Every structure is written in C-alpha cells, then in structure tokens.
Structure 1
Amino acid sequence: MVLAVGGLLLAGCSNSGDAGHRTAPSASSAVTSPAGQRGTAGTTTRFTVDPARVPTAPSAALDLVRTLTAGPDSYGPGYVERPPYESDPADWPVLGTDCVWRQEPLPGDVLATLTRHSRLPAAASKGEVRTAATVTLHRTAAQADQEMAETLEEALRCPDQQLRATERISGLNSMGSGYGTNGDTSADDCLIELGTYDDPTLGKGSTYYLWDQVRLGPVTIAVVVEGGKGFAQGDLLTVQARAVAGMETKVRTELGARK
C-alpha cells in the first residue's frame, strides 16, 4: 500500500472553515520522519483567541467541546454514529512504553476533552470507513502545544501501535508544521500521521490510517480516518479535511477575538 502526502492532506491542516497526554518540545520545531511535502491549500487569517471567551470552569469547557466536536454529518452523506458514540469525558488516552493505548484519568492541565466516533457502513464493493473526531481544551496554549509535540513524538517512538483488542496501526510517518511553514496558513501548529490500519473484524488486509491534528490557541482538534477497502487515499483525505476545517471554523467562531 502506497501512502502519499499532498495538497489534499494539507487541506485538513490549513483550510479554515483519541489524543494522549503530551509533554515534549513544540511540534513546530520538532524533527520528524519524512512523510512527504505539502503544498498550499488555502490561506486564512491567523487565529487570535479572545481570553475572555475561553471557559475556565470544567463544566463550561465540556459544553464548549461538545459544541465543537464533529459528528457524522461533518464527513459527508451516509455517515452514521458508531458506538460508543461519545468518549467518557473523564478519560484520557495514554500510549504506554509497550506501544499499547490505555485510558487514564484526565490530567490536570486539561479542562475538557471529547471524542465522537462515526462510520460509513460498508456498501457494494467498498468496506466500512471509521472516523473519530477529538477536541481538547487545555488551560493554556503552551499546554496545548505540549500535546501536539507529544503526538508527533509518539509516531516516532511507536511506529506500530495497538489501538484496541483487534485494531492495530503500523508504519506510521509523522510531520509537524508551525504556522507559516510547509503550507500551514491557518493553525498555530499542524501535524499529520499516515500509516496502515488492520482489524480482522473488517476482513483481511490493511487499509489506510490517516491522522490530522491542529492547534488553535489552547484548543487542539483532531480527526482520524481508518479504512475502508476500495477507497482511494485521496477520497479519505478529503473526508478528513472537511471535518477538520468545520471544527476549525467553529473554534474561530466561539473563541476568536472580535474585531
């Protein structure tokens, strides 16, 4: 399976419209594995957060991330909820030293986080596509920046990862870009991961694994797309970009400085 990075993937990072706890240098300055080159997909004004509009209480923060997090209608026609539809807001995924993901209590620097799972059911000759959208509100932009950098580091530390009992991703490549670099003309930071996804319950053979995550101030938004058989990588990247851009637009609307 050939994994390509191009303008379609960039669209998810720069076209405005289950992360773990992160503790590392800035994603925009980290050294990454060679995932490929990116071209410009669109230009927008750099996001400026209005501190007065950012919730500081966990309950209000959770209300905000519920407003921001993409559901099935964010991906396109035919997508439906996939159980469990929403994650437990008290949980936080952590990648262990054994490269296996586990749930742990929410860390103190996170005000709220939520993941929503969706899917496009298998039909005709094409397999099921699985998606998940995650929004996390940190107490500070610096803490959100740490999350981005740790996400980038995880792909380098664990190119093969166990997601759940039957789900595994392999051969991850990652690339991080700060605002104004590698075509990132929208977010404070952007990172991408590409690899292959395997789940025997969906049949034999690997499919695409695509992760796109951006930071706008203290908020990180991410969309993962897994599978499905018979879909071109470009088609899946378009679906991913649509969801990321929609959430990015909502962040700007809810938290951006008013002019």
Structure 2
Amino acid sequence: MGRSGGYGHGRRGAPRAGCCLAAGLLFLAGCTSGGTGPGGADASARSSAPATPPPSGTAGAAGAGTADAGGNAAPAVPELDEQRQPRDRAAARALLDRIVIDQDTFGPDVKRSTPFESDADSWPVLGRDCVWRTEGLPPDVLATSTRQFHVPAAEGRGRVRIHATVTVHRTREESGWETARAMEEVLRCPDQVLRAGEELKGLWGASLYLGEQLNRWTEDAFTESGRWVGEGSGGPQRYLWSQGQFGPVTVAVAGKGAAGVTDEALNNLVAQGTGRMLYRAGQALGKEPR
C-alpha cells in the first residue's frame, strides 16, 4: 500500500528545495486558500492559529521555539538520550505505544476508520513502476504502526481521511535514511498508484534539517504535497504528507482532502498530529533536564 493509503513511508537523501512547502509545518498556514473546513466554524477558527501549535496541555511541544538573546527562535528539540533508545523489537513496540495517537488528538470531529491499524509486520515499498506494495519489515525497522482516521462527510463537505504513522528504527542514522528515501521517491515518481483505483498525482516535496529556514521543530522535516484521486474523492483533492524525526523515531501524518474542505483545515489536522507525536517522542527519548 502507498504511504498515504495508511501503510506507507519512505525518505531520501536529496537536494533541499525551497519555497512555501519546504518550510514544513511551521509555514503551512501561509500556503493555503479559502473554503469550508471539516470542523465548520471551529475548524475555521483553528486555521488562523500557528500551523504547528503545541498540543493542548503541554508546554514547549514540538514546533514551539524559545528566543535567544538576539530575539531569534531557537530549536525546541531536546537532546537525545541514547541510553533510552530501544535495542530490540519488544522495547521498540513499547516505545511506539507511548508515541502513537488516537482520534482525540485531532479533536471531536475526527473518528476512527475501519480498518484502524496496519499490520505490525508489514512495510510499504514503492516499486520501479511507481506502484506501492506491501512487504515484510526491513532489517533497520524495529516496529511501525499506521492508524487511520477520518472526518465524516457532512452538509457542504466530503469525507477527510487522515493516516498517522510511527516508525522506530535501530539508530538515528537509519531513521534519517528513511527521510532521505522519501525525497527520492517523489523525484522518481511524482505520480503514484496506492492501490487499484486510488492514485496520487503531481507530487512534489522538500526536506529541511533542524535550523534550516523555519524548521525549529524536528531533526529532519519532510513535507510532500499533491492531489489524490480515489473512490469517494469526487475528483482530484488535496493531498498532504508531513514527516518529522527524533533520534531513531520517525512520525508522519497524511491528509486527504475533500470537496468543501479548506487547505487551512487540512494543514491543521496534519500539523496537530505530527506535533503531538514528536512531542511524545521527545518526552520518551530526550535527556532529562538537569
């Protein structure tokens, strides 16, 4: 299955592109246009907030920076405690369970989808023909999980689909390579087949290391955007994928828009999920403050 189909990820070592998308989630709000959001008036209000807000009830969450003496935003990514990294699949699964999110992360409008969670032993691979397939876990992956959610269709809007993925690698270097391969996939396959009758079109993406441009929220940020077409889509709709990294962990959220849904509303759903999982990864693997 493809990454946006709920079972995909991938990343790559490739050129760092510029422009709005390249700034990652911190700049998503500046890349949007109008319409009716999936949460009605509440979603419209949320769309005027920063694109990567700290999760409710948490201070200093991923995406929130601190200011140095010169007033410049400093990265808010904690230092990795390598002693807390998982060494085997059981420990990785326990870590993953601390990071994965449920529908409450996104707010009351979001529901679980069926199927809800991917096969823990499956891994998506993009073939040379640009068709996604499922294989077993590669050697560098200790554990992975993709959960699927949706905002139900209602008067004036279609059904929004959301996929949240957490992957635990053996090392930080291996999680970085996952991000690197994702950029290569977009360059190689701007049009991709997720499954029979469902495709992504006109994909383009960009990646930023921590400290580059507006990236203050993750060690390596990757954002991918395009259009998706499938059953119930009502024609080409906006597609957005955003991925972040902390140590051996990568987290990602994909959003598939629908008729009558604003870009801002889709951006915020993706940002909220990614920010919350990065915050949890930092809590689980970051060094304790002295």
| TM-score exceeds 0.5 | yes
5+ unaligned residues in a row in structure 2: which ranges? 1-6, 28-49, 51-63, 66-74
Aligned-residue offset at 1:93 = 0.4
Q: Distance in 2 between matches of 1:252 and 1:114?
A: 18
Counterpart in 2 of 1:65? 96
Q: Distance in 2 between matches of 1:82 and 1:198?
A: 19
Aligned-residue offset at 1:32 = 3.8
Counterpart in 1 of 2:141? 110
Alpha-carbon distance change, 37 to 186 in structure 1, aligned in 2, over 3 angstroms: closer
Alpha-carbon distance change, 86 to 206 in structure 1, aligned in 2, over 3 angstroms: same
Aligned-residue offset at 1:21 = 5.1
* SS state at 1:202 partner: coil
The answer to whether 1:126 aligns with 2:162 is no
Aligned-residue offset at 1:78 = 1.8
What does 1:228-243 correspond to in 2, within 5 Å? Answer: 228-243=258-273
Aligned length: 237
Counterpart in 1 of 2:172? 141
Q: Aligned match of 1:188 in 201, 219, 240? A: 219
Q: Aligned match of 1:226 in 228, 239, 256? A: 256
* SS state at 1:250 partner: helix
Aligned-residue offset at 1:232 = 0.8
User: Residues 35 and 174 of structure 1 are in contact (CA less than 8 Å); yes or no, is this contact kept in structure 2?
Assistant: no
Deviations 1:187-216 (A, max 9, x none): 1100101100111x2153111100000111
Higher deviation after alignment, 65-74 or 209-218: 65-74
Aligned-residue offset at 1:64 = 1.6
Alpha-carbon distance change, 196 to 149 in structure 1, aligned in 2, over 3 angstroms: same
Counterpart residue identity of residue 185, structure 2: E
User: Residues 167 and 197 of structure 1 are in contact (CA less than 8 Å); yes or no, is this contact kept in structure 2?
Assistant: yes
Counterpart in 2 of 1:215? 245
Scaled by the length of structure 1, the TM-score of the pair is 0.86
User: Residues 85 and 118 of structure 1 are in contact (CA less than 8 Å); yes or no, is this contact kept in structure 2?
Assistant: yes
5+ unaligned residues in a row in structure 1: which ranges? 1-17
Alpha-carbon distance change, 172 to 35 in structure 1, aligned in 2, over 3 angstroms: farther
Q: Aligned match of 2:116 in 56, 79, 85? A: 85
Counterpart in 2 of 1:46? 77
Percent identical among aligned pairs is 36
Deviations 1:215-235 (A, max 9, x none): 111110000000221111011
Deviations 1:160-200 (A, max 9, x none): 1111222211001101000100200121100101100111x
Counterpart in 1 of 2:282? 252
Q: Distance in 2 between matches of 1:212 and 1:203?
A: 21
Which one has the largest radius of gyration? 2
Counterpart in 2 of 1:5? none
Counterpart in 2 of 1:13? none
Counterpart residue identity of residue 76, structure 1: G
Scaled by the length of structure 2, the TM-score of the pair is 0.77
Counterpart residue identity of residue 202, structure 1: G
Aligned structure 1 segments of 4 or more residues deviating by more than 3 angstroms: 18-22, 31-42
Alpha-carbon distance change, 61 to 103 in structure 1, aligned in 2, over 3 angstroms: same
User: Residues 90 and 105 of structure 1 are in contact (CA less than 8 Å); yes or no, is this contact kept in structure 2?
Assistant: yes
